[in-house]
Amino acid sequence: MKNIVAIYPGSFDPVTNGHLDLIERGSKLFDKLIVAIAQNLDKSEALFSMEERKEMLVAMTEELDNVSVEIFEGLLVSYCIRQGANAVLRGIRAVSDYEFELQMALMNRKMEPRVETVFMMPAQQYSYLSSRIVREIAKLGGPLTGLVPAMVEERLRERVAHRRHISATGKHLL
């Protein structure tokens, strides 16, 4: 049997239950799975720092022995080669994801034919879930139960309250 090391790349701002579902599925399929947080080029909409995202992902995956969490910069395929990875894992939720994912997978293959992209579907109840929607619901004070782990929900509430305080007073909370 081959030793398959897969990279699961993404922004994870923040990690959702959909991501965690895919990580669990991926950990069963691959010998090793590296969850890789991409250093943002566009930070304007970011809610959490790279380190905060990593901290939440590490806490949520600590029971999965073959899963690790890293931060990477630059091209994904170059990072794969540096890590000795032969696969990239991406989640496809709905048909609408497919076009962009296909473009990325084919471009990555053109740049680095040694790395294969593997698509997996998350559980159906997460097919409408994304970090962007979670950030928006959090900012508007909507319910987050079932969308993100309790720890992430708590961090989101704190962060949104902190941002609101800053924009209302111009001052940081202690």
Q: Which of 11, 19, 54, 90 is catalytic?
A: 19
Instruction: Provide the minimum distance between the beta carbon of 45 and ligand PNS in the complex, in angstroms, as a whole number.
Output: 11
H/E segment holding residue 132: helix 131-139
Told to check if 71 binds ligand PNS by CB under 6 A, we report no
Instruction: Choose, by CB under 6 A, the member of 6, 7, 9, 47 that binds ligand PNS.
Output: 9
d(CA 45, CA 58): 23
Roughly how many angstroms between the first and final C-alpha of the chain, as a whole number? 54
Interface with ligand PNS, residue 89, by CB under 6 A: no
DSSP state of 121: P
Of 60, 85, 64, 67, give the one whose Cα is nearest residue 75: 85
Is 162 considered catalytic here? no
Q: How far apart are CA 13 and CA 32, in angstroms?
A: 23
Catalytic site residue 131? Answer: yes
**68 versus 161: smaller Cβ distance to ligand PNS:** 68
User: Distance of CA 156 to CAs 81, 95, 172, Å?
Assistant: 34, 29, 16
Among 6, 7, 8, 11, binds ligand PNS (CB under 6 A): 11
Of 7-15, 27-35, 63-71, 117-125, the segment contacting ligand PNS by CB under 6 A is: 7-15
Let me know if 93 is a catalytic residue: yes
List residues near ligand PNS by CB under 6 A. 9-11, 38, 75-76, 104, 107-108
Instruction: Supply the residues annotated as catalytic.
Output: 19, 43, 93, 131
